[in-house]
Copies of this chain bind each other. A is one copy, B any other.
Amino acid sequence: MTDHSTRAALDDAALDDIAQLDLGRATRRGYPEAIFCQGKTVDQVARIATVLVGQPQVALFTRVREEQVTALLEVLPDAAYDAEARLVAWPPVPPEPTGGPVLVLAAGTSDLPVAREALLTTRYLGRQADLVVDVGVAGLHRILAQVPRLRTAKAIVVAAGMDGALPSVVAGLVAAPVIAVPTSVGYGAAFEGLAALLTMLNACAPGVAVVNIDNGYGAGHLAAQIAAP
């Protein structure tokens, strides 16, 4: 323990009044720390980016607001920005993929922002990943047509709102783990994603791993870990 905590402490960059970047995380865990931008000021995000400039690892800024993007692109001019996923990545090109393929499903068109956040996170963390859209259970033939493709994946991310029923159905068809991301898509008794969350936690098919509502980043991270070489 000593060695590790000492090394990590040395690695931590000096932004002491607002943050202590966990730059040792890539070494310790194999995956770098992401910067969760919600609730941070533009200035805070920019200062954090400045420290990351000289670092060798991938930097992901999640849930970025428009004004934060502007500030980030001043510090990291060639960073990649995906507006739908609200993600800024640097360096802009994902690493060469290793490990097994990951498939990301969006139950409906409205689930795309979350699904894309998962997709891009998985790619920037080093896996090959593809996206399939609008395969909700109201028209079951759409997901059934994907079964052969589903069975090639090492990990499957399923983003779904409303009834959140898709992960149960998918998990019953494949051997790979299904990472279920409830989305806040819906209204009324969807309770901002709570209904889908509960559905997924109670999936009658085993093999469903649930993450927080709208947490595309977390789903993509898990997929990258599960499909690691």
Binding site for B on A (CB under 8 A): 1-2, 4-5, 8-9, 12, 16-20, 22, 24-25, 28-31, 33-34, 36, 38-40, 44, 63, 107-110, 112, 133-142, 144-145, 147, 161-165, 168-169, 171-177, 179, 182, 184-215, 217-218, 221-222, 225-226, 228
Contacts and interface: CB of A to CB of B under 8 A. Distances in A.
A63 B203 CA distance: 17
A20 B135 contact: yes
Contacts of A193: 188-189
Contact of A39 (B16, B18, B138, B185): B185
A157 to B, nearest CB: 11
Most chain B Cβ neighbours within 10 Å, of A34, A162, A221: A162
A18 B173 contact: no
A190 B169 contact: no
Nearest to A190: B202
Given A1-B2, A29-B175, A133 B19 contact: yes
Nearest to A1: B144
Nearest to A48: B109
Contacts of A18: 109, 112, 133-134
Q: Which of A40, A136, A139 has the most CB of B within 10 A?
A: A139
B29 A173 contact: yes
